[in-house]
Structure 1
Amino acid sequence: MAATIHDMIRLKRTNKNTLESLALPERMDNRARIAFGGCALSMTVSAAFQTVESPLRGRMALYSVLGHFLGPTVIDRAVFLRVTALRDTRTFATRQVIAFQKQDDGKERACISAQLDFIVSPTDDPSIHSFLQYSVSPPQTVNPEALPSYSEALRDRVIDGGLDPNVEKAYTTNFRLFETLFEYRVPRDAPLSENVMGIDKTRKTSQDHLPLTSKRHLDYFRIRQNTSSTFSPPDPDALPISSTCLHFAALAFAMDGAIAFIPLSLSHNFLPDVAACSSLDFALRFHTDVMDAGKWHLREIRTVVGDYGRTYNEARLWNEEGRLVATMNQQDILRPHSGPDERRRGEAKL
């Protein structure tokens, strides 16, 4: 398992336009051999950064990542990333990245197709870049420093007799990757805190009286890695990763978490209850040029609409200063089982 985000997004060059991940993608909230989509997404961001940063151009800020998940990323092989330059001007750079894996027969299978847009951002002073500066306010909730880690909170609930140890074990098994890479804290009255991401699906939550589209989940996270240094051993094949790349890639990884299954968790269901629950497309946008994944970020996740086997879900992210710094929306597949005989627990797939 990757010990840090830096480990997750390290790449080596295989030819002029293609890079290869040095880490294998890893699973999360899936018992099958399928990796969490945020792994390949963060690698995609890392690959695009490798082709836009240069001393002559100066710092480049990522402001838009639009794309599609084309197929599952499996956990037993590296991810390759083919980068195509679509635009290079004095102000903007646009890259298309196709993330793919090589199958046992040697054929390529695409995992992600994404278009990433960058803007030249030579200064940290937002007033130089901005005619207007404003932001929607974050929801009112408890300070993250007043909360234990989510794993500690679950352990306390087990000790107090308020949570089945098997639920805690299921959470640790399915979600340990996130808490390996990020410090993670959740307000006690957030619905996915109360029902343990939906695993404890019969548990009543404080938002049960609300319509599904009025429910909101809130959580906090920050990268565990000391962003002033890296903990990875030297690797002669690894390309250097800039601090800017590290912060954007880390938050891209985090923003993909939980969006696909938020309608399930907010409606007293979980992954075994459906035949398929996966992300189809995504739009990730950054609203600041300076990201600091080492500081606390507050995330709000909600679902907007669901029908015809698809859902549309959104996440918003605020920094410690209360400014909205990123948003992500996805259309996701949510396909019911066609009958009780075809229900196979733990194998949600496309």
Structure 2
Amino acid sequence: MASTTTEQTAIEEIGPGQFRSIFNPGRMGNAKPIAYGGCTLGVAVRAAYSAAVPSTHHLYSLVGHYLGPASTTEKLVCTVHDTRTTKSFATRRVVVQQVQPTTTNTGGEQQTHMRMCMELIADFHAEEPAAPGMTYSAAPSRAYAGPGDQSEVPAVLTTVLSAAEEATVQRSRDVFSLNERFLETRPCREGVAAQNLNGVLKSRPTTQDALPLADRTSAEWVRNKHPLSTPADQAAALAFCLDGGLSFCR
């Protein structure tokens, strides 16, 4: 069992342009043995970094598609294609596959095949001096307090809960234990997600209930619990986070 995001996304080279995860992907948000998508995404990013990307280039764009759910019972295998490498850009296409559970053909022989899980395009760009006026980040739609003013445990957990709610909260924490193992997450108490535990406590009122649905927002502060020593470690850890909560956004 991996104890850090660096371990969870670690890979080994098994051939030219081919890599295999050290650990099986973990489960999160699903009771079945279906892997959390961030594990697949993080491994794909590590594979892209490992395919002879120049040290002068840094990841700035990811575009990918999940092609099928990954299983928690098999390691992930990545094939990396060098689409282009120039002085300014390096582009890698990563195909992630996994061994499909063994089947038996009509002759009684055991056979397996590789199942597609993801295809991803990773673009790396050479580091350049920042041009004046070219750095921009959109401000959030509402004001949120800083991480020091938020609790690591969602604010709703500090209130008096009914027995049914306490059981629901505990089940939720068990299902999302992979996230708690790797990351410190501080949901902003001003957001909807902190007040109803990401929708787990559906009947809990929030301070944004009077707003139109499209105007309701949530935010959280997240940091890795363990050191990230290389750009590949940092990018893979960020990629691991990117799939979090997407299945529950409604």
Q: Please say whether Structure 1 and Structure 2 have the same fold, judged by a TM-score greater than 0.5.
A: yes
- Higher RCO (Cα < 8 Å, 6 or more apart): 2
C-alpha distance in 1 between matches for 2:42 and 2:124 = 15
Shift of the 52–17 alpha-carbon distance from structure 1 to 2, 3 Å rule, reads: closer
Q: Which residue of 2 aligns with 1:219?
A: 220
Shift in Å, 1:250: 0.8
Secondary structure at 2:48's aligned position in 1?
helix
Shift in Å, 1:154: 5.6
Percent identity of equivalent pairs: 29
Secondary structure at 1:193's aligned position in 2?
helix
C-alpha distance in 1 between matches for 2:149 and 2:225 = 18
Shift in Å, 1:155: 4.8
- TM-score by length of structure 1 reads 0.64
Shift in Å, 1:247: 0.9
Q: Which residue of 2 aligns with 1:146?
A: 149
Q: Which residue of 2 aligns with 1:156?
A: 158
Structure 1 unaligned runs (5+)? 229-242, 264-350
Shift of the 162–220 alpha-carbon distance from structure 1 to 2, 3 Å rule, reads: farther
The 4+ residue runs of structure 1 with deviation greater than 6 A are none
C-alpha distance in 2 between matches for 1:60 and 1:12 = 22
C-alpha distance in 1 between matches for 2:228 and 2:61 = 23
Return 203-212 or 103-112, whichever deviates more.
203-212
Q: Which residue of 2 aligns with 1:320?
A: none
Q: Does 1:253 align with 2:240?
A: yes
C-alpha distance in 2 between matches for 1:130 and 1:80 = 39
| Aligned counterpart in structure 2 of residue 67 of structure 1, from 60, 64, 69 | 64
CA contact (8 A) 1:92 1:118 kept: yes
Q: Which residue of 2 aligns with 1:24?
A: 24
C-alpha distance in 1 between matches for 2:57 and 2:244 = 25
Written as runs of structure 1 = structure 2, the 5 A alignment for 1:195-344 is 195-228=196-229, 243-263=230-250
CA contact (8 A) 2:97 2:116 kept: yes
Secondary structure at 2:97's aligned position in 1?
strand
Secondary structure at 2:247's aligned position in 1?
coil
Return 199-208 or 107-116, whichever deviates more.
199-208
Aligned residues: CA RMSD: 1.8
C-alpha distance in 2 between matches for 1:155 and 1:137 = 29
Counterpart of 2:178, as a letter, is: L
- TM-score by length of structure 2 reads 0.89
Q: Which residue of 2 aligns with 1:346?
A: none
| Aligned counterpart in structure 2 of residue 112 of structure 1, from 118, 142, 160 | 118
CA contact (8 A) 1:195 1:203 kept: yes
Q: Which residue of 1 aligns with 2:96?
A: 99
Return 70-79 or 97-106, whichever deviates more.
97-106
C-alpha distance in 2 between matches for 1:6 and 1:101 = 20
C-alpha distance in 2 between matches for 1:35 and 1:45 = 17
Shift in Å, 1:135: 2.4
CA contact (8 A) 1:52 1:93 kept: no
C-alpha distance in 2 between matches for 1:35 and 1:136 = 32
C-alpha distance in 1 between matches for 2:22 and 2:202 = 37
| Aligned counterpart in structure 1 of residue 83 of structure 2, from 80, 83, 86 | 86
Shift of the 221–162 alpha-carbon distance from structure 1 to 2, 3 Å rule, reads: farther
CA contact (8 A) 2:190 2:218 kept: no
Matched residue count: 238
Shift in Å, 1:134: 2.8
Shift in Å, 1:197: 1.5
Q: Which residue of 2 aligns with 1:50?
A: 50
Q: Which residue of 1 aligns with 2:105?
A: none
Counterpart of 2:78, as a letter, is: L
Shift of the 150–245 alpha-carbon distance from structure 1 to 2, 3 Å rule, reads: same
Q: Which residue of 2 aligns with 1:281?
A: none
- CA-to-aligned-CA distance 1:132-176 (integer Å, 9 cap, x gap): 23322244211111222126x56533xx34672112211211111
- CA-to-aligned-CA distance 1:221-242 (integer Å, 9 cap, x gap): 00110235xxxxxxxxxxxxxx
Q: Which residue of 2 aligns with 1:173?
A: 174
Secondary structure at 1:150's aligned position in 2?
coil
Q: Which residue of 2 aligns with 1:286?
A: none
C-alpha distance in 1 between matches for 2:156 and 2:228 = 28
Secondary structure at 2:168's aligned position in 1?
helix
Shift in Å, 1:10: 0.8
